[in-house]
């Protein structure tokens, strides 16, 4: 696939995901005053500022921003190096990961903290960007493993069943 088409898919997907995440954060932050229990003892909408990621410390925040940028560069390099073999679905999956990371990076830069609001019992509080990151990685991994399995099947010689019958 040509780079122009890859980047068009990447930019459009990233824009949509970032928009969804940032708008959801703005709406929850401005409209939700108290926790909203969606499913009793299972799902709650709650405001949470993830201090662990940035701790409000400039030095540590810059380290997190730097790490995010390194991951973004690695993903871009992978896309460019695989452009001839890259399927549209994999570009979308990688766009989910990039967009989620960039959206949380926007929080780190402009809020010095990541705004989370989805609470599922026995899990840390998370946001829409986190959902896209996890879904992106899972779908990309499944796709990658399927492609690898197909490549391995093609590389492994098939046993000749006729040869076995002749020996009997």
Distance CA 6, CA 15 (A): 14
In 3D space, the residue among 100, 97, 108 whose CA is nearest the CA of residue 66 turns out to be 108
Residue 116 known to be catalytic: yes
54-61 CB contacts, 8 Å cutoff, 24+ apart:
54/108, 54/112, 54/113, 54/114, 56/112, 56/113, 61/108, 61/112
Q: Name the catalytic one among 21, 84, 130, 151.
A: 130
Cα diameter, the chain: 79
- For the chain, the C-alpha Rg in angstroms (whole number) is 22
Beta pairing class for 43-50 and 36-39: antiparallel
Catalytic residue among 21, 29, 107, 116: 116
Respond yes or no: is residue 29 known to be catalytic.
no
CA 114, CA 53: separation in Å to the nearest integer?
7
Catalytically active residues are: 116, 130
């Amino acid at each position: 696939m040509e780079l122009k088409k890859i980047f068009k898919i990447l930019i459009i997907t990233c824009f949509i995901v970032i928009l969804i995440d940032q708008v959801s954060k703005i709406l929850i932050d401005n409209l939700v005053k108290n926790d909203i229990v969606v499913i009793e003892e299972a799902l709650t909408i709650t405001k949470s500022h993830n201090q662990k990621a940035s701790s409000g410390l400039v030095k540590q925040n810059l380290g997190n921003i730097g790490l995010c940028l390194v991951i973004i560069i690695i993903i871009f390099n992978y896309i460019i190096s695989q452009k001839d073999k890259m399927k549209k679905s994999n570009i979308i999956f990688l766009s989910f990961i990039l967009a989620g990371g960039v959206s949380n990076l926007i929080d780190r830069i402009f809020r010095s903290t990541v705004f989370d609001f989805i609470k599922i019992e026995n899990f840390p509080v998370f946001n829409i960007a986190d959902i896209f990151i996890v879904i992106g990685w899972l779908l990309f991994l499944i796709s990658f493993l399927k492609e690898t399995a197909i490549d391995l099947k093609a590389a492994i010689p098939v046993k000749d069943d006729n040869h076995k019958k002749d020996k009997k």
